[in-house]
């Protein structure tokens, strides 16, 4: 069944010039781009987005990183979009990511790991609404 997920190309991947390659990988994997924008987020905005991780030891470092430069926010659609994007991304730590995954190809570390993808339907809904208005989803 067709499903939507939310993704971010993180600041590390943009700084290294991998934005176009990652978008091409996503399209090649069969995702339709429903919405796309380049923007920068503030530290408080990053804290709001990653609120579920607020008790984790890496929260301060993660939100500083996510607000350190431009990102690309994406809404993506395909059958099983949430699970398939997580598969295409690879493991959180690129050292454990499988060959051919985005994190294996482009991530530098467990924190600066190139891409975000929603982990469940409710998370996807929250994350899409955090970045996009309904009229931007086309």
* 53 is annotated as an active-site residue: no
CA distance 9 to 86: 13
- Beta carbon nearer to Mg ion, 33 or 91: 91
Q: Is 116 in the site for ligand ATP (CB under 6 A)?
A: yes
Name residue, tokens 């997580």. 86
User: What is the DSSP code string of 65-106?
Assistant: HHTSS-EEEEEEEEETHHHHHHHHH--SSGGGPPTTSHHHHH
Look at residue 37 and give the partner it binds from ligand ATP, Mg ion, none, a contact being a CB closer than 5 to 8 Å depending on partner kind: none
CB of 82 to ligand ATP, least distance (A): 11
Closest-by-Cβ residue to Mg ion is 119
Q: Which stretch binds ligand ATP (CB under 6 A): 38-46, 75-83, 112-120, 125-133?
A: 112-120
CB contact set of 101 (below 8 Å; sequence gap of 6+):
87, 88, 89, 90, 91
CB of 129 to Mg ion, least distance (A): 17
CB contact set of 32 (below 8 Å; sequence gap of 6+):
76, 77, 78
Q: Is 51 in the site for ligand ATP (CB under 6 A)?
A: no
CA distance 82 to 25: 16
Contact map string, positions 20 to 49, toward ligand ATP, x by CB under 6 A: ------------------------------
CB of 98 to ligand ATP, least distance (A): 13
- Beta carbon nearer to ligand ATP, 8 or 35: 8
């Amino acid at each position: 069944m067709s499903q939507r997920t939310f993704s971010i190309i993180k600041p590390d991947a943009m700084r290294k010039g991998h934005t176009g390659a990652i978008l091409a990988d996503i399209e090649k994997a069969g995702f339709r781009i429903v919405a796309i924008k380049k923007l920068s987020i503030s530290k408080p905005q990053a804290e709001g987005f990653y609120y579920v991780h607020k008790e984790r030891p890496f929260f301060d470092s993660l939100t500083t990183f996510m607000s350190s430069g431009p990102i690309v926010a994406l809404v993506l659609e395909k059958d099983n979009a949430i699970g398939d994007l997580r598969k295409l991304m690879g493991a959180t730590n690129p050292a454990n990511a499988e060959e051919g995954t985005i994190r294996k190809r482009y991530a530098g570390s467990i924190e600066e790991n190139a891409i975000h993808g929603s982990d469940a339907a409710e998370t996807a809904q929250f994350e899409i609404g955090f970045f996009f208005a309904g009229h931007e989803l086309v």
